Amino acid sequence: MEIISEEEKMSPAELRDFLAEKALLIRRDIIKMITVAGSGHPGGSLSAADIITALYFKVLRHNPQAPKWPLRDRFVLSKGHAAPVLYAALAEAGYFERRELWSLRSLGSRFQGHPDMLKLPGIEISTGSLGQGLAIANGMALAAKIDNLDSTVYTLIGDGESQEGEIWEAALFAAHHRLDNLVAITDFNNLQIDGRVSDIKNVCPIDSKWSAFGWHVICVDGHNLLDIVSALESARAVSGKPVMLEATTIKGKGVSFMEDMVGWHGKAPTKEEMKSALKELGVDEWE
C-alpha cells in the first residue's frame, strides 16, 4: 500500500526545489483559509510549514487512498491550534479536495479550529489541549512495538507547549520504554500567545533537557528542507532511545510583516493583508 513517489529518484537539488514548492503552496493556503475564516493561528502554522512539508512529501510513509493502512507512519499534531498547516498539507497530498479548506472554522465544517479525527481522513487523533500530544504519541509507539509493526510515530510540539508538565511526564515514559520508533519535533520559534517563551517560562536549553531525560537529540534549522529531511531520516536509525528534533524556526516564516511578531500568534489577516502576504509568497491574487 505504500506509495513510491517520484521524489525518491530526485537529486538533492531537485528534491529541495520540489519541497520548496510544496511548502510555498502550503503557506499560501494557510494565509487564504485563515483570512476567509476570520480567525485562526497563522504564526505557528507558518513556522511549521517546512517541517510538515518534509514529513508529508518525503519522510512519512502514508497513503491518501488508504488513510488507515496498518503499516503507515503516524503523525500527531500536538500543537493542534496550528491545524491550518496540517490541513493544507493533507489537501496537497490528496486526502481531500483543496476547495474544502475555505470552510475552515465555519459552522458544520469538517475543518475545525483544531484537528478532529472523526471528521477528516489523515487525522490520527483529535488534538488541541496543549501538552497531551506527546503522551498520545507514546501510546501509539508502544502499541506499534507490542504489535510488531514497523512504523514510526512523529509528533510536533510547541516550545510554549513544552512548559506543560505532561510533556515531561511523557518524556520520562518514552525513554523508560525505549521507544526508538518515536520522533518528537519541537517547533522552536520562541514565541507564544503572551510573548517570548524565554521571557514567560524559559524552556532552554532544550537540547540538554531532553538529553537528560534519556532522549537522542538532533538540532536542525527548521526552515532548511534538506536538513530537516536528513535529520528525520537519521532519527529512524537511532536505536534504544526516542528522538527529539529541536527545530529552530521563525514564527510567521514567509510573510515579512508576520515574522517573529507575537501579535500574529492567533490573528487573522485582513483581505488587504492577505493580498500583501500572497504577493510575498509569489501570487498576485487568489488562485
Q: Give the start-to-end residue ranges of the domains of the chain.
A: 12-280
Which string of DSSP letters, residue by residue, matches 181-232? TEEEEEEE-SEETTEEHHHHS----HHHHHHHTT-EEEEEETT-HHHHHHHH
CATH number attached to the domain at 12-280: 3.40.50.970
Q: Is 95 helix (H, G, I), strand (E, B) or coil?
A: coil
pLDDT band, residue 1 (cuts 50/70/90): very low
**Chain segment 157-211, per-residue pLDDT in tens:** 999 999 999 999 999 999 999 999 999 999 999 999 999 999 999 999 999 999 9
Contacts of 182 (CB under 8 A, 6+ apart): 137, 138, 141, 152, 153, 155, 174, 242, 243
pLDDT band, residue 286 (cuts 50/70/90): low
Mean pLDDT for 86-105 is 97
Q: What is the pTM of this model?
A: 0.96
Cis ω on the peptide bond leading into residue 205 (within 30° of 0)? yes
**Chain segment 98-155, per-residue pLDDT in tens:** 999 999 999 999 999 999 999 999 999 999 999 999 999 999 999 999 999 999 999 9
**Chain segment 202-211, per-residue pLDDT in tens:** 999 999 999 9
Contact indicator for 278, 32 with CB cutoff of 8 Å: yes
Contact indicator for 11, 45 with CB cutoff of 8 Å: no
**Chain segment 25-72, per-residue pLDDT in tens:** 999 999 999 999 999 999 999 999 999 999 999 999 999 999 999 999
pLDDT band, residue 4 (cuts 50/70/90): very low
How high is the mean pLDDT of the chain? 96
